[in-house]
Amino acid sequence: MISSIPVIILHGGAGYWEGKDLHEVEKAIREATERGFEEFSSGSSIEAVVEAISFMEDSGLFDAGKGSVKNSEGNVEMDAGLMDGKTMSAGSVVLVNSGNPIREALKVMRKGKHVIIAKGIQTTSSFHDSGGDTVGAVALDKEGRIVAGTSTGGISGKDPGRIGDSPIPGAGFYATERIGVSSTGIGEIILKTLPAKEVDILFSMGLTLDNAIRSSVDKVTSIFGKGNIGMIGLSKYGEVSAHFNTNGMPRCFKNSEKTQCLIYKGDFQ
Ligand SMILES: NC(=O)C[C@H](N)C(=O)O
């Protein structure tokens, strides 16, 4: 569907959501969407994405921030990244043990010297495993700035030092002057297929955003089977799209007229 601008879209991770408190999850992602949208009144898509993702990191309901899963040694190692499509600037942090990783990623992007900084591994964390999933957001403001970001605790029981797709531009997120995308799913598959970059290529070749995202997800399914990927995105025209090959992916979008949230199959109207 095509939305008015500004618009923001969020996801709470492609996975198997049965048996989880979906009411709480939907409430949190809706509030995060509203929190991010508020930023358009004084800030840009950068603030919208960072505030929306920070809200989800703080909720403790997702595999990001306070709800991050533990690695095989019982420690939390979070990854996050974001990209500003207008300036093609990007910033990521990996192996973060505390705080809001998306805010740290923003500092890396603002500094502009490097793209990815490893924060180093510490051994203690008071975080609890939410059993939830990765979070991401994409925003488009009135100036046409598209920003995409993703934050995660990674995959439960991962080896120490493992880094997935979420902090890698072109894999876990990507933004250009044309499109912005946030991915979720199994990092080891997403890193080998680079679907976020592929969406921009397909869009540049003339596909609609919806067809580009659907094609990228379908391609992953055809190679690796189902149950491993989901993506959300926006285009410069205000197209809003989300596709996944898992059974669910909590997601919301908001513009000045409405907020809409879905968990299982279905399209935004
Ligand atoms: N659930 C997720 O999206 C996990 C994330 N993509 C990772 O592999 O670290």
Q: Residue 188 CA: which ligand 1 atom is closest?
A: 8
162 is in an annotated binding site: yes
Can you give the pLDDT at residue 104?
Answer: 98
Can you give the pLDDT at residue 121?
Answer: 59
Mutate which of 184, 190, 217, 232 for ligand 1? The one with the most ligand atoms within 8 Å of its CB, which is 184
> Which residues constitute the domain of residue 250?
7-67+133-152+168-262
46 domain residue, yes or no: yes
- The CA 187 to ligand 1 mean position distance, Å, reads 5
- What tokens were used for 1? 């569907």
Question: 134, 150, 152, 246: which one is catalytic?
Answer: 134
Mutate which of 166, 190, 217 for ligand 1? The one with the most ligand atoms within 8 Å of its CB, which is 166
Can you give the pLDDT at residue 49?
Answer: 99
15 domain residue, yes or no: yes
77 CB within 6 A, ligand 1: no
| DSSP notation for 220-232 | HHHHH-SSSEEEE
For residue 129, give the amino acid letter. Answer: D
Can you give the pLDDT at residue 19?
Answer: 81
For residue 110, give the amino acid letter. Answer: R
124 is in an annotated binding site: no
Tell me, what CATH number does 40's domain have?
A: 3.60.20.30
CB neighbour class for 123 (10 Å; exposed up to 12, middle 13-18, buried from 19): exposed
147 domain residue, yes or no: yes
Can you give the pLDDT at residue 20?
Answer: 82
49 domain residue, yes or no: yes
Side by side, which strands form the sheet with 7-11?
116-118, 89-96, 78-84, 146-152, 135-140, 7-11, 251-254, 259-262
Can you give the pLDDT at residue 124?
Answer: 54
73 domain residue, yes or no: no
248 is in an annotated binding site: no
ipTM of the complex, rounded to two decimals? 0.97
152 a catalytic residue: no
The count of structural domains within the chain is 1
Can you give the pLDDT at residue 114?
Answer: 98
CA–CA dist 208, 202 (Å, integer)? 8
CB atoms within 10 A of CB 114: 11
139 domain residue, yes or no: yes
163 is in an annotated binding site: yes
What are residue 80's DSSP bridge partners? 93, 151
109 domain residue, yes or no: no
- The per-residue pLDDT string of the chain (269 residues; one tens digit each, 9 = 90 and over) reads 999 999 999 999 998 888 888 999 999 999 999 999 999 999 999 999 999 999 999 999 999 999 999 999 999 999 999 999 999 999 999 999 999 999 999 999 999 999 999 997 555 566 777 777 999 999 999 999 999 999 999 999 999 999 999 999 999 999 999 999 999 999 999 999 999 999 999 999 999 999 999 999 999 999 999 999 999 999 999 999 999 999 999 999 999 999 999 999 999 99
- What tokens were used for 57? 């990191």
CA–CA dist 164, 238 (Å, integer)? 29
126 domain residue, yes or no: no
